[in-house]
Copies of this chain bind each other. A is one copy, B any other.
Amino acid sequence: MLSNTDKAYIAGFLDGDGCVMFQLVRRKDYVYGYQVRASIIFYQKTVHRDHLEWIKEQFKCGYVRDRNDGMSEYTIVGIKSVHDVLLQLAPFTRLKKPHVSLALRIFKALPKRFTSERLIAVGKLVDEFKGLNYSKRRQNTAATLEEFFNRHDSP
């Protein structure tokens, strides 16, 4: 179990230089054609890679990789892992508080059984997330899903 000061420390580190993000990822093998992907990413110079490894040990999930520009990333991907980590950090995050609360809304909105309508509803929450992250990169949006379901017969 992580202590409250460790959780608070990691929440501060995430607020300083980390990223929480949701994406709608095209997956041809998925019944509804898209995956809702949740990620948390911590960044640090590769010389301090052991710092990222320390955070990874605390959460026991995700992976650390070295980029080719002297930076390393610790990435946690997946609904369950991201949910678990955010629940631990939630009481201590400050800058990322809107991200955490929107993430928890997305997790709640994720149905056990999908329909195209439910996926579009989740897609709209994912769109809100991009606003929080000032994301400018073109990614799939709820509108992409709507177009997709218009072009395809509903499964």
- From residue A53, how far is it (CB to closest CB) to chain B in Å? 12
User: Interface residues of A: mostly helix, strand, loop or mixed?
Assistant: helix
Pick 30 A–B contacts, CB within 8 A, sort by A: A4-B4, A4-B5, A4-B8, A5-B5, A5-B7, A5-B8, A5-B92, A6-B8, A8-B8, A8-B12, A9-B9, A9-B12, A9-B92, A9-B94, A10-B12, A12-B12, A12-B13, A12-B14, A12-B15, A12-B16, A13-B15, A13-B16, A14-B16, A16-B16, A16-B17, A17-B17, A44-B95, A48-B95, A51-B95, A54-B94
Which residue on chain B has the smallest CB distance to residue A15?
B13
Interface size of A by Cβ–Cβ distance < 8 Å? Answer: 22
Copies in the complex: 2
- Decide yes or no whether A20 CB sits under 8 A from chain B: no
